[in-house]
Amino acid sequence: MKVLKVILIVLAVLASVTVFIRFYYNKPFSPSATAEYEKNGLGITVDYCQPSKKGRLIFGTTQEKALVPYGKWWRTGANEATIIKFSRDVTIGGKALKAGKYTLFTIPEKGDWTIIINAEVGQWGLSYDESKDVLRVPATSSQQADSVETFKIDFNEKESGVDMLLHWDTTVVTIPIK
């Protein structure tokens, strides 16, 4: 009877350790997230993955060893390239875009960023085909006092549309959508 009890305890401990190890090693380092906006017949859905700062320099020059260097295209998140869907035709930064599903890329700069809407969807995010761009617009970049640890996309409703906001570290990028 004592031997059976010891065996059951050992099995329970091994099962607990196995579950913990599987959870720890299988959790995504850059978890997936969705940002959504819905109002007045306009639906916007952004599917992306959220990298974290983890003490690193996020935006800067290649000489500074920034994670996301100025002047280079970025998948605007981590892992798979960021997907953005529009339920109806919109204008982004004053340029027309048809309803549909696209990939969102950006080119970070010290000042204004370049927002890229690309027709090729379903890519991992390590390659980029500029010939599939359907729209490129500048977007305002600003600095905030507080640092944001994990990359985040959200929306700020305006009287004449909505701003999509990209937040990471002390940088906020504002993308006007109407």
Summarize the confidence of residues 15-26 as an average pLDDT. Answer: 53
Residue 29 structure tokens: 């380092």
Distance CA 108, CA 141 (A): 9
Which residues have a Cβ under 8 Å from the Cβ of 23 and sit 6 or more positions away? none
| Per-residue pLDDT tens over the stretch 70-98 | 999 999 999 999 999 999 999 999 999 99
In this predicted structure, what is the pLDDT of residue 90? Answer: 98
Give yes or no for a contact between 50 and 168, defined as CB atoms under 8 angstroms apart: no
Distance CA 149, CA 169 (A): 6
Q: Band of the pLDDT at 46, cuts 50, 70, 90?
A: very high
SS3 state of residue 77: coil
Distance CA 33, CA 31 (A): 7
Q: Band of the pLDDT at 29, cuts 50, 70, 90?
A: confident
| Per-residue pLDDT tens over the stretch 125-168 | 888 999 999 999 999 999 999 999 999 999 999 988 999 999 99
Distance CA 83, CA 122 (A): 8
Count helices and strands (H / E) in the chain. Answer: 1, 11
In this predicted structure, what is the pLDDT of residue 125? Answer: 80
| Per-residue pLDDT tens over the stretch 158-169 | 988 999 999 999
Give yes or no for a contact between 82 and 104, defined as CB atoms under 8 angstroms apart: yes
Q: Which residue has the higher pLDDT, 25 or 154?
A: 154
Distance CA 49, CA 1 (A): 52
Evaluate the CA torsion angle 66, 141, 47, 101 in order and state its sign.
negative
Does the reported pTM lie above 0.85? no
Does residue 17 register a pLDDT over 90? no
